[in-house]
Structure 1
Amino acid sequence: MPSSYPHFIPKELFVSQIQRFIPKSWKQLEKSSSILEPSSPVGDSMIDSLLTSIKTYASEGHLSEAFKTLSLIKLRASSSTSCDAILHSISSLLFSCTSHKSFPQGRQLHAHIIRLGLEQHPILVPKLVTFYSSFNFHVDAHTVIENSNILHPLPWNLLISSYVKNELLDEALYTYKQMVNKGIRPDSFTYPSVLKACGEKLDIGFGREVHKSIDASCQEWNLFVHNSLVSMYGKFGLVDVARQLFEKMPQRDVISWNVMISCYTSKGLWKEAFELFGRLQMEGTEISIITWNTIAGGCLRTVLVPTLEPLS
């Protein structure tokens, strides 16, 4: 773990800190609503209506009303429908808090999740990670994962991806190692972010280790993972390795060609880049604006640079 990276919050302290965010109005609402006998739950049609109201409130940014409706569902739903109803409601609200950039309300919702004992639910953990990551509260997002017992790679993928997006490369690679050490198998969504981090850090040794893990994983061949491998070796300057991987691809997309051409141009190998571009045209593959700009820039460079050399 990088020495500059903050320590994760112990589970007990993290939970107590979050619980402090539960508004008094919520607790009062539960008490005032307790006169409605739990033994007389409303029907499924009413629950559906309340769920619709939550989605409407959430989509319009009326989170206070949505939270009140959530408390009402918790109190009035029958035992057979309450779990699903509450999960759908919370899921919708978390998405709304993220999309509307409502951090205080999302923090309050997390407190409510803990109060309900749902902080480790496999549906909610990824959404909590997404919520905290979207505000760059990566320590909180990481603590959510640390305090869960989920063995699915999804929440880890979300956090690793956010680390890489924010150029926190050491943290991304640390999280990947932690994930693997916990016995969680990476998938085709894990590797592109990890390979990108290796390439940006120019960590050839670990990049090769990840490549070996991909080969040994027995997963089906994946275009996005293979594109990321080509890109990583290109950033390492190992253009020959990148080209070998490119030629072995059973299928390619426009990104595959962009990546390989960029590998050549980054090393000033314009001849190879032009030849590959000609092959791209012959195969009739769609040419992206990125490739056009790269090749156009190369043409200008190869034509103008000699004319700019000082006269002897």
Structure 2
Amino acid sequence: LHVSSTAYDVILHPVSSLLVSCTNLKLLLPGKQLHVQIISLGLEQHPLLVPKLVTFYTKFNLLDDARVVTENCKILHPLPWTLLISSFVKNEHFKEALSAYTKMLNRGIIPDNFTYPSVLKACGEELDVDFGRMVHSSITASCHDWNLYVHNALISMYGKFGKVDVARDLFNKMLERDDVSWNTMIGCYASKGMWQEAFELFDCMHAEGIEPNFITWNTIAGGCLRTRNFKRSLELLSQMKSNGFHLDPVSMIIGLGACSHIGALKLGKEIHGSAIRSCCNEFENVRKAMITMYS
């Protein structure tokens, strides 16, 4: 039974609020029952409710249900599809994400700056160069002003493809960069073993006053270890601690390795103590690094 337009307006917002509550409180059965009521009221195609239904099902990782809601909706706004694609990517269903993107385009729905980062990540993880280039061309041809998220996702994608020169060209052309931009580009160089370029960019990042993230600290310290600059590796780990980061198992393996090479037994014992206090000594690779240092 479909409601009149006046009753429609009265019912819509309470139903929307109830659906949000079911999502936030993780009430699966009441949420499904509410969905049935939404269908019986003829509200299942309403632009306000469709994205909330998709969000509800993705909250429980019921991605097939979310896909059915999205594919059955007739609205041409990209939001439901963007929510579905991002959920596929979050759950590492990258092929499904690319399939959903293709269906979205076939419906004549135009992606936006919120859609592209997830699609680009899926391309990178699948190492689908052709698809990635196609998406990049679509972004270039669109009327959207690229935001940071799109730029950063493009850099990351081309880094995954091993096309570091393309990634660096995109990085250089950015009018605005954030910490993700720098960290991502450094990661691209590191993944290819281009340590000199990674070190130079790391120094530029510091000069710009941009704070490296935890992964970048470990990446650069590990790069110094690989290039046998052991003292620099330990200096970086010390700076990392001074900046409020605690050493994780990767940091400790790097530190123990550097101590082993230069015979810094005292510092190695300090790292050993930190490993015990943080239970990182339970990791096999940390134990192996300790044995190597003491042998």
TM-score (normalizing by structure 1): 0.70
Alpha-carbon distance in structure 2 between the residues aligned to 1:135 and 1:175: 19
* 2:206 maps to amino acid: Q
Corresponding residue to 2:216 among 291, 295, 308: 291
Structure 2 residue aligned with 1:51? none
Alpha-carbon distance in structure 2 between the residues aligned to 1:300 and 1:85: 66
* 1:200 maps to amino acid: E
Across the two proteins, how many residue pairs are aligned to each other? 232
Structure 2 residue aligned with 1:189? 114
Structure 2 residue aligned with 1:275? 200
2:212 matched to 1:212? no
2:98 matched to 1:173? yes
- TM-superposed CA distance for 1:267, in Å, is 1.3
Corresponding residue to 2:180 among 234, 252, 255: 255
Alpha-carbon distance in structure 2 between the residues aligned to 1:79 and 1:155: 24
Structure 2 residue aligned with 1:23? none
Q: Deviations over 1:273-295 (max 9, x none)?
A: 00001111112223333322322
Structure 2 residue aligned with 1:52? none
Contact persistence 2:113–2:146 (CA under 8 A): no
Alpha-carbon distance in structure 2 between the residues aligned to 1:84 and 1:290: 50
- TM-superposed CA distance for 1:79, in Å, is 6.7
Alpha-carbon distance in structure 2 between the residues aligned to 1:268 and 1:97: 48
Where in structure 2 are there 5+ consecutive unaligned residues? 231-256, 263-295
Q: Secondary structure at the match of 2:61?
A: coil
Alpha-carbon distance in structure 2 between the residues aligned to 1:148 and 1:256: 36
Structure 2 residue aligned with 1:155? 80
Alpha-carbon distance in structure 2 between the residues aligned to 1:99 and 1:188: 26
Q: Deviations over 1:156-200 (max 9, x none)?
A: 000000000111111100000000111100000010000000000
Structure 1 residue aligned with 2:155? 230
Alpha-carbon distance in structure 2 between the residues aligned to 1:96 and 1:300: 51
Q: Deviations over 1:195-226 (max 9, x none)?
A: 00000000001100000000001211211101
- TM-superposed CA distance for 1:149, in Å, is 0.7
Q: Which aligned pairs between 1:50-69 and structure 2 lie closer than 5 A?
A: none
Corresponding residue to 2:43 among 112, 118, 141: 118
Structure 2 residue aligned with 1:99? 24
* 1:195 maps to amino acid: L
Q: Deviations over 1:13-50 (max 9, x none)?
A: xxxxxxxxxxxxxxxxxxxxxxxxxxxxxxxxxxxxxx
Q: Deviations over 1:209-246 (max 9, x none)?
A: 00000000121121110100000000011111100110
Alpha-carbon distance in structure 2 between the residues aligned to 1:94 and 1:159: 17
Alpha-carbon distance in structure 2 between the residues aligned to 1:243 and 1:234: 9
Alpha-carbon distance in structure 2 between the residues aligned to 1:79 and 1:256: 49
* 1:197 maps to amino acid: A
Alpha-carbon distance in structure 2 between the residues aligned to 1:279 and 1:196: 26
Pairwise CA RMSD: 2.1
Where in structure 1 are there 5+ consecutive unaligned residues? 1-73
* 1:158 maps to amino acid: L
Contact persistence 2:23–2:31 (CA under 8 A): yes
Contact persistence 2:54–2:80 (CA under 8 A): yes
What percent of counterpart residues are identical?
Answer: 65
Alpha-carbon distance in structure 1 between the residues aligned to 2:223 and 2:107: 47
- TM-superposed CA distance for 1:297, in Å, is 2.5
